[in-house]
Structure 1
Amino acid sequence: MTTQTNDPIYKTDALIAEDIDQYLQVHQHKTMLRFITCGSVDDGKSTLIGRLLYDSKMIFEDQLATLEADSKRVGTQGQEIDFALLVDGLAAEREQGITIDVAYRFFATEKRKFIVADTPGHEQYTRNMVTGASTADLAVILIDARKGVLTQTKRHSYLVKLLGIKNVVLAVNKMDLVGYSQETFDKIVADYTEFGKTIGLEDFVPMPISGYKGDNITTSSDNMPWFTGTPLLPHLETVEITSSHEPVDAPFRMPVQWVNRPNLDFRGFAGLIASGRVSPGDEIRVLPSGKTSKVAKIVTFEGDRDEAIAGEAVTLTLEDEIDCSRGQVIVAAQSPLEVADQFESTIIWMDEEEMIPGRAYWLKIGTQTVSATVQAPKYEVNVNTQEHLATKTLDLNAIGVANITTDREIPFAPYEENHDLGGFILIDKMTNQTVAAGMLHFALRRSTNVHWQATDISRESHAAMKNQKPAVLWLTGLSGSGKSTIANIVEKKLARMNRHTFLLDGDNVRHGLNKDLGFTEADRIENIRRVGEVAKLMTDAGLIVITAFISPFRSERDMVRSMMQPGEFVEVFVDTPLEVAEERDVKGLYKKARSGQLKNFTGIDSPYEAPDNAELRIDTTEMTPEEAADLIIARLIP
């Protein structure tokens, strides 16, 4: 038996359910504002967010008790509560009193819901700030009133502009420590305005605040009657959200996340609408294939819809059975996206290891993942002066402009038009770590002006005339391992069998095709790329190509493999221990490397990455070159 009373503690299950339903009804139709706080170290970002959470009554009693205890433990110079501890969740952050990782917090008021990202101030964690800003609609840039505009303030402001955040609040914090001086505030705003002009960030809302004291956070401060603007929280509640993430008033675009085929009677294409709106009957085009159809239905969990708009996740069914798969983009038929495979882009490098021009990375844009190579940067940007600096690579947190080439054409939009279809990340193929974030500017003209010329004699015809199957025998291993010796024997044996071959040797190609390249990591990568392209053309001619290259990096050998037809690339690991190769030292190269006369020598001061799954492994300590050649030919011609 349930005792009913007016005391809310003794509410029945039905009343509790009713309260929850009312709460959901109130909040589910509110708009959502995603914003970040950024600036230099110790500008008070975490304290400000903690104050917003506290003042909006978004802290549970047990959290408050823990917060008060932690505040007493770390000491807050007379302040009862250290609001920064609400956000600095990592142990290292609490111990050092700084923010390291991006901390996301949710809170809501009567007018709006919020997701706020507290981003690190230290320069070494700039990559974390980029992560937090990538989905933000508004940025709160904090400045310590005692310090004014600092280097990191400029860096974060530049990134905010670069990432296309339209709404910016310049919050001059810690006004209580400068006596709430209007003169100090006005000077900082003037300095920031002058800097903002250099990066094109001229539209911002300045306000003087104190996260520590709560001045101008939720209500106007009596300590600064000279400021007649709106306090921070009311501004966040009412600011108009202008975002390039999900523009509704733009042509329809939806990257396909997955193909939904629960049974033979249903085939739908699921995804998040990146821009525009769609209705049944609309004509659509699938890119990059260009196939066209019409929308039959818009399917959701709540039932079929008459219309869907940007930001909504839906499943579309089409009137025609056309080819469409994950990674492709469904667009309005009359307003297609541009499709290209070469682009100019801005890259923010986020890895401890520097960028290697010419190396192949995974490029993820929207729902597509393609292989891409980054060319040497055109320039690096000095975020303090906006000067364009000459550079050959990009280090951690560096920002530069470089051309990117993908292994196939992809549909895209310039980042300034659509963040989802113009923003990308680069992923290292070996470690699967995200190494960079970037924004596509435009397609290079040569990507649309240069077309593959079809020929009447196909690669199959070339191979048939030679009565053989094209292949690339890729011998890799340390200098002195015996690659060239084995390759030469293989070619002679194949010649006796009337096979049509060509031998590409590492030293030989550097006398002509690659004589302009050195032995830096970037030059080694370009060396292998060029050889791979030549080998590909030779397989098109029906030849068996034999190569003998150190080719020390797995990613570049994989790049060449990806150029070839399935099954045509045969990786042969000529496995010789370093000490054995060094003992041979026919060319005297190891001796020079040991003495410091020869830099970037594989095995000494440059790494060799042994194959993980080579088709063949040749142990030269256990077999002769003749035996090794016979083993390779047996693999090629069973």
Structure 2
Amino acid sequence: MRELLRMATAGSVDDGKSTLIGRLLLDTGSLPTDHLAAVDGPDGPDLAALSDGLRAEREQGITIDVAYRFFSTAARNYVLADTPGHVRYTRNMVTGASNAHLAMLLVDVRAGVLDQTRRHARIATLLGVPHLVAAVNKMDLVDFDRGAFDRVRAELHDVAERLGVPLLVVPVAAKHGDNVAVRSARTPWWDGPTLLEHLDAVDVPPPGEGGLRLPVQWVSRPVAGARRSYAGRLAAGTLRAGDEVVVLPSGARTRVTALDALDEERETALAPLSVSVQLADDLDVGRGDVLTAPEDPPVVTRELRAQLCWMGEEPLRPGQRLLLKHTTRTARAQVTALHDRLDPATLADVTSPERLELNDIGTVTVRTAVDLVVDAYTRNRDTGAFVLVDEHTHATVAAGVVREAVPRAGAGRPAEGAEGVARWTPSRAARPHRGAAVWLVGAAPEVLREAEAALLAAGRPAYALDPGNVRAGLAEDLGDGPAERAELVRRSGHVARLLADAGLVALVAAGSAAEARAAARPAGEAGLTAVVVTAPGGPDAPSGAPGVADVLAALALAEEA
């Protein structure tokens, strides 16, 4: 099987990306005769027209959409995405580079490095493209002057150094083919490889690398009475019949009993093959769940620190609610914080921005209403990437990559039960612990999660009502006014009472001691344990931010009383 290299062009408008692609197609003999005849002119073929397929592109002389082209050399096959250079169509560059092994950055030798050049280079590194090569184009227009090339090469190396990536810079004249596929006699001072020689030598990661990741896309039972099959595309790893797998986010363990690649019977499947599998146990597995290897699990989370390329016409502001699409799962989400924004002129980060505008790149915190099964993007480009969608217009407004995920306490680790599934359904009389509603005044969300983890470790069923998740789901229709805040507290209190009545310790955040006591009162009146923790020393101490030890101590005191 021949090796495949996926690559994408990058750079500013009018740098000659489409012409260079046409030259690669022509010089590798990858052009059908009728295509070449259609763009032939008195001065030779119009190479840019070979990839600019839209009428608007030919009329304006720019690339708008992503054009995919295929060519081959003696060494390997190529899939090349010609992406737009115009700032308005930056979002399309994100699409073209999302699964590329290499980004080819073009620069007009006369113009040098521009803001859009830097932005595209940053997007390529943001998307984890492992290789970056730069072509300084239109050398024929400066008479192949070495000084002009060295000046632009120094600018490109400065960009690469700031981004922390290696970079080869090649002088080319795409219109005439100099140093593209054939070494040019007009650059005797260049002793490096031609562009195509470098492309043929780039290392491509073998398929199937990494731990098993199979996001479930479809559940089917084609024949009545037959076992269910779970279909999806392998995002990483290999899978065989007989392999033990873990279903996340539930944490249930089982084995693969049958494997079908749809086109033929296979004993082994490796990424990125689409497969359908059958499992040994009847588990509750649905779209959005992920089958993984037990020894190499991803993170189950509801909180992500991520980098976004914002594509919306309207700016992104903290608190904005959107839909998040990750692998095969769609979840309601909220962008709770903007941490920084990239300055394309300097490649420096501007901290604490008020908003992200169209084409801005920034770091954010995102909270979701349901569990996601994620990896850091540097580990897996499929399970570490997501898009944000406007829930009203259904327009894709951002592409994001996961930099860090906060594991949700207790997620993905079920207690042993039938078929490995966590089951905790004793009768009310048989419950080993009384439930409780615990209100933490002024505590950060991290304290709620740490208290939940401590209670779970001690054998107490517990659940932290994360404020961001409550806002993103239960209270997504509420604003920030006093009346809406009172309704948010009422809803949170009602859920806490239900959880406490089921025998769990419900941990809830509160803004003030007064609102916490008001919300906790109905739980106490219902005969449940209701605790308000305001500061070290117990529920009646002066106002402050309680820690985990204060929560556990206050709960113990309340239950003893």
State the 1:353 CA deviation.
1.4
Aligned residues: 438
Q: Decide which of 91, 97, 100 is 1:136's aligned counterpart.
A: 100
- Contact 1:167 1:242 (8 Å CA) reproduced: no
Q: Which residue is equivalent to 1:324?
A: 285
Query: Corresponding residue for 1:553?
Result: none
Asked which structure has the greater RCO (Cα within 8 Å, sep 6+), the reply is: 2
Where do 1:461-500 residues align within 5 Å?
none
> Which residue matches 2:492?
537
Match for 2:6: what amino acid?
A: R
Aligned-residue offset at 1:342: 0.8
8 Å contact 2:340–2:349 — kept in the other structure? no
One of 326, 346, 369 as aligned partner of 1:407: 369
2:356 corresponds in structure 1 to 394
Gaps of at least 5 residues in structure 2 are 413-423, 429-475, 499-561
Q: How does 1:235-246 map to 2 (within 5 A)?
A: 235-242=198-205
5+ residue gaps, structure 1, are 1-28, 73-78, 459-521, 544-638
Larger Rg: 1
Letter in 1 for 2:360: A
Supply the distance in 2 between the matched residues of 1:241 and 1:266 (Cα, whole angstroms).
38
Kept in 2, the 8 Å contact 1:358–1:525? The answer is no
Aligned pairs (5 A) from 1:164-183: 164-183=128-147
Q: Distance in 1 between matches of 2:21 and 2:344?
A: 27
Counterpart of 1:213 (choices 176, 185, 192) is 176
The offset of 1:360, in angstroms, is 2.3
CA contact (8 A) 1:359 1:525 kept: no
Deviation at residue 37 of structure 1 after TM alignment: 0.9
Q: Which residue of 1 aligns with 2:325?
A: 364
| 1:230 equivalenced with 2:193 (yes/no) | yes
- Point out the more displaced range, 157-166 or 49-58: 49-58
Go from structure 1 to structure 2 and tell me whether the alpha carbon gap of 1:99 and 1:160 turns closer, same or farther (over 3 Å shift).
same
- Counterpart Cα distance in 2 of 1:161 and 1:259: 36
Q: Secondary structure at the match of 1:375?
A: strand
Deviations 1:494-515 (A, max 9, x none): xxxxxxxxxxxxxxxxxxxxxx
**Matched AA of 1:138:** L
What percent of counterpart residues are identical? 41
Which residue of 413, 418, 434 corresponds with 2:396?
Answer: 434
**Aligned-pair distance for 1:84?**
0.6
Q: Deviations over 1:576-634 (max 9, x none)?
A: xxxxxxxxxxxxxxxxxxxxxxxxxxxxxxxxxxxxxxxxxxxxxxxxxxxxxxxxxxx
Match for 2:152 among 166, 188, 196?
A: 188
The offset of 1:219, in angstroms, is 1.5
1:252 match? 212
Structure-to-structure mapping, 1:540-579, within 5 angstroms: 540=495
Matched ranges for 1:298-309 at <5 A: 298-309=259-270
The 5 Å alignment of 1:41-80 reads: 41-68=13-40, 71=41, 79-80=43-44
Residue 421 in structure 1 maps to residue 383 in structure 2 = yes
Q: How does 1:256-295 map to 2 (within 5 A)?
A: 256-263=216-223, 264-295=225-256
Distance in 1 separating the partners of 2:486 and 2:196: 60
SS in 1 for 2:187: coil
Which of 326, 340, 344 is equivalent to 1:379? Answer: 340
Shift of 1:149: 1.6
Measured in 1, the distance between the counterparts of 2:194 and 2:184 equals 8
Report the equivalent of 2:276. Answer: 315
Flag the 1:258–1:51 CA change in 2: closer, same or farther, 3 A: same
Alignment of 1:443-458 (within 5 A): 443-444=405-406, 447-448=408-409
Indicate if the aligned counterparts of 1:377 and 1:402 stay in contact, CA closer than 8 A.
Answer: yes
For the 8 Å contact 1:274–1:310, the answer to whether it is kept is yes
Contact 2:241–2:258 (CA<8 Å) still a contact in 1? Answer: yes
The reply on whether 1:151 has 2:123 as its aligned counterpart is: no
Secondary structure at 2:221's aligned position in 1?
Answer: strand
Could you tell me the TM-score, scaled by structure 1's length? 0.64
Distance 1:449 1:388 in 2: 36
CA distance in structure 1 between the partners assigned to 2:139 and 2:121 by the alignment: 21
Q: After superposition, what is the alpha-carbon deviation per residue over 1:424-443, rounded to whole angstroms, capped at 9, x for unaligned?
A: 00011111110111011112
CA displacement, residues 7-47 of structure 1 (integer Å, 9 cap, x when unaligned): xxxxxxxxxxxxxxxxxxxxxx2222111111112110010
Give the 3 Å change call, closer, same or farther, for CA 382–448 of structure 1 in structure 2.
farther
Task: Name the amino acid aligned to 1:425.
Answer: V
Q: Contact 2:261–2:269 (CA<8 Å) still a contact in 1?
A: no
**AA matched with 1:269:** Y
Tell me the equivalent position of 1:587.
none
Give, in whole Å, the separation in 2 of the partners of 1:532 and 1:199: 47
